[in-house]
Amino acid sequence: MKNLFKHATYLSFYIVLIFLIHISLASTVAFFHFELGHRLPDVEDWMLEHQWEILSIAKLSSLFVIFRFLSVKGNFRRPFNDVLNLGDEIDYPELSVGLIFLLFIALFIGRPVGNDVDFYFLRVSSSFVGNLVFLLSDAFLWFSLNIFYPLEKRQRYIAIFAFPILSLLFIQTFILYGRNVDTITFIHFVMGYLMIFITSLNGKPAWNSVMLYSVVVQCTLNAFFGTDPIWESLYSPFVLETGITSLEFLALAVIVLGYFVYKNIMREKRKKQLV
């Protein structure tokens, strides 16, 4: 229970730092806009257009500060690289099959069509990278916490669902000012945490599993197919004509998780046979 409390403490400091850095950046930008004589609607438009950049800087800066405190416990000379090296590797082709299946079935259900907007490469790229940072910064913090302060299996189940809820509620309330973070975004976060959890059951957690999920599924859907939690379909080249419900996406995610668990078990069996 002591380690679970430490997890909650570090997460609390992490999200508070995100808020403080974000509000500092937003205030600085607004100050210079007003000094240049820009109107409030112009400032709001600029903030919306660059929301991913501001949020990414805030999350990465907060992660850096928290990680420096964490790394003191491990006495690492190169803390970021050393912590990553403590993780395990995954079989990319096997996991990629499941994730590509999830993406294509989601698109088949949603029926993508061209979006009636001008294509802005920088905005689509910003959405892709921003969504990547959005999930991976939180997942990397949890990955690191599980290395420094390992949780019991039952406590991990609590953290897998509690931490995304706390983080996303905070982001929605204080960063996005009430803009809804939908259930599918929550599922993305839980999937990322579960990827780390599943690979840790038989040994070391595999950090690159959540990175692969984020690139193949989360970032692709959000940046290219109009499900971005901030911009929605404002800059995406395609939109899902019929959409995909949270229940449909959850069902697909459960199927892929089952496949991932099965492949992970088979991989561990092969390792034991070679010993």
Q: Which amino acid is at 168?
A: L
- Residue 125 is predicted with a pLDDT of 93
- Residue 177 is predicted with a pLDDT of 54
Nearest CA to 215 among 113, 126, 136?
A: 136
Strands (E), 6-155: 112-114
Structure tokens at 68: 């420096």
| CA pair distance 179, 107, nearest whole angstrom | 25
- Residue 112 is predicted with a pLDDT of 92
Domain count along the chain: 1
Name the stretches of the chain with pLDDT < 70.
73-92, 174-181, 200-205, 268, 271-275
CA distances from 150 to 47, 95, 147 (A): 39, 25, 6
Decide: helix, strand or coil at residue 149: coil
- Residue 178 is predicted with a pLDDT of 45
Strand-pair partners of 112: 240
Residue 2, Cβ neighbours under 10 Å: how many?
A: 7
Nearest CA to 160 among 180, 147, 143?
A: 143
Question: Does the predicted model carry a pTM greater than 0.75?
Answer: yes
- Residue 130 is predicted with a pLDDT of 93
Domain that holds residue 72: 2-274
- Residue 56 is predicted with a pLDDT of 92
